[in-house]
Structures are given as C-alpha cells and as structure tokens.
Amino acid sequence: MTSDPKPGTLKLKPGAAKKTASGPFAERRAPVRPPGPARAKSVSASAPKPPRERPAASSGERPSLPGSGRQRAQPAEAQRPSDAGNRSTPARSSVPRAPQAPARLAEPRRSDLARVGNVRGEVRLNKRMAELGLCSRREADEWIARGWVLVNGEPAVMGMPVAPDANVEVLPQARHQQAGQVTILLHKPMGYVSGQPEDGHEAAATLIGAPSQWRGDARHPAEGRRFAPEHTRGLAPCGRLDIDSVGLLVLSQDGRIARQLIGENSGIEKEYLVRVHWAPNGPHGSGVVTQNVQAAFPPEQLARLRHGLSLDDQPLKPAQVDWMNPEQLRFVLIEGKKRQIRRMCEQVGLHVVGLKRIRIGNVVLGNLPVGQWRYLGADESF
C-alpha cells in the first residue's frame, strides 16, 4: 500500500501540459455561482460614455432623433464582453416610438411682410403719413410717441400697419408744432459742404445766425418771424451743392419740404449757370479753348447733353441745356445725382470752371448776397 505524496513535492517540467483530471493537485476554478439579483451600477459605470462612430443606418433602421436626450438601444453584439458576462437579467427591449414630424425650418424674414400681412396693401403708419404729405417719417414717429395721431379714431401705436383706406388724423398739437418749423434759403459760398463737415471743410449750416441774416429779410421777416437759436435745430439740407459750387441751398426743419425736393418722385426743376472750357483732351491737355467756347463746341455734343448720357450705368432724364453766352451754359435738371453736371460735361469734352444754382422750383436766388440767408416767404412755394 502506497502512501499519498506529500504536498509540495510534485515538480512539473517547463512546457508540460496541465492536468485535466480531477484530484488534489488539479487546477482550482472559481465556483459557478447561481444568478442573483441585479445590482445597481456604480456612479463610474453609469457615467455616459463618449459617443462612438456608427455606420450609416440602413433603409430599415430608424435614425435617432437629435436633441431627444435618449440613446437608441444597441444590439446585443455591440455590447462589450465584460458587460454581457456580468448582466444577469435580459436586456430591456426598446419600446417603439411614434413617428415625429420633422422640425419646421424658420422662414426667412422679410421686411415688407414684418407684422404686415400685405394682403390689403398695408404699410407702416409713418410711411403712410409721409405718402399723404402730412410730415416726414421722423416727425411721424415723434407725433405717434406723443399721442398726436389717431387711426380710425383710436390712438396710434408705433410701427403699426395701416390699410390704404384707413382714416389717419393729426391732432392740433402736431399742426401747431409744424407751423413753428422754418425753411431757410442760403446763398452758399465756395468752400462749404452742404451736409456734415468733412475733410476739414465747414458745413453750410454754420452760416445760419443773426449776423448773416439778410437785412431785407430782417426788416420784413416772413410771417413776422425773428431769428431764434431753435431755428437751427434739426435744420437739414434739401439737396446737395458741391463744395466748389455756389448758389441757392435750401435748409428746412419741415420734412414735407425735404420730401418735395429730394424725394424719389420729385420733379422739381433746378436751374444752374455753368461756365465751361472746351477741353477735348482734358483740362491739362492740348487744344483747350477758354474764349468763345460755343464756336468750338460741336453741336452734336450739345444734343447729347440734353439727352443721351448715362451715369452709374443709368440713363439720365432729359435736361434743358442752352448757351447763355459764348462761355456759359444754362442747365435745367429734374434730378440730382452727385456732381451730375460736372460729370456730364466731362463726357462731352467740357471742363466746368464755375457752377451756380439760381432757382429751385418757383423759388429764385434773386439778389441774396453770398454767405447770407433769409426765410422762405409765406407766399413762396417750390
């Protein structure tokens, strides 16, 4: 009878196969435990995993909805082996969701349809008041804010749309304020700009003051007006006059005057006297004629000045152009593009050496001295 070998005396050669038979020296395995109740995941295990790239969904697979906050259940083969081995409960099947309508794209916002259906031709109230000739848009906004405007008998609201047949009423307070607005006629000298100061040049509005008021107007002021500092507030030029040009410049506090003179549909005539040189090769080129320009200037080019020229790729409206004397032309325009007369003359070989505006509509410069101003008379209109 043999005795059992002592523990720890068995020696195995390197590389020898492990024993598979059961015995006291067989390899011990972890006991298989019966499945128990599912345990809650730890905080680290339940933390959201970074999204992994997935292949494009097939035609039969429903894509996940962006922004839903839920992740679509992954198939069993996509699970990690460690998770699959530890789970003792069957995977929860995903509940089919009802199809959701795709989110509507925001329609582009259009300024002409903002808060206005535009079915009945509705427009903003301030624009409608300007079209009716009641005031300018800026004045309309001020009157609406003060409660001086009624629409169909009700107080108006800023920015409200109105139909073409709406009854727009202005209270007497607004009429009284408008009656106090002034319009000034200035004989602008050379070297002043019509609008805001630029390039070191002063604005023509700086000439408006008591010392520069025309004496004839001071003795007989329009409607008994006397100059006051408030007459220079909100005074805006109604039309341009180049820095190198002189003549009649209108400045007004009344938005109706500005719309009448420089509005899109304005047909007010503006008359100019223009002294020119014949310079077919430019003002510094050869062949410049300074005397008796009318004799050297081709008649067909005069016809082009009247009609046939374009500026900024837009054809100009017909103009009246005639010789006043051998060196001076008379222009009558119904539009006012930037430096229009000078650019027109350049296209036909003329160089402008002097330009003076003498009339706007029915209002003439007359004998108003250079650098002085007067009020628009009660009996005057453009």
Tokens of 293: 């320009």
150: helix, coil or strand? strand
Catalytic position from the list 242, 244, 322, 379? 242
Nearest to 193 by CA among 163, 139, 237, 143: 237
Long-range contacts of 235-240 (CB under 8 A, 24+ apart): 235/182, 235/184, 235/205, 235/208, 237/194, 237/195, 237/204, 237/205, 238/262, 239/194, 239/270, 239/336, 239/360, 240/194, 240/195, 240/336, 240/338
Q: Which residues on adjacent β-strands are paired with residue 123?
A: 162
Asked if 241 and 270 touch (Cβ cutoff 8 Å), the reply is no
- Terminal C-alpha separation, the chain: 143
Tally of CB atoms within 10 A around 5: 10
Please say if 199 is a catalytic residue. no
Which residues are annotated as catalytic? 242
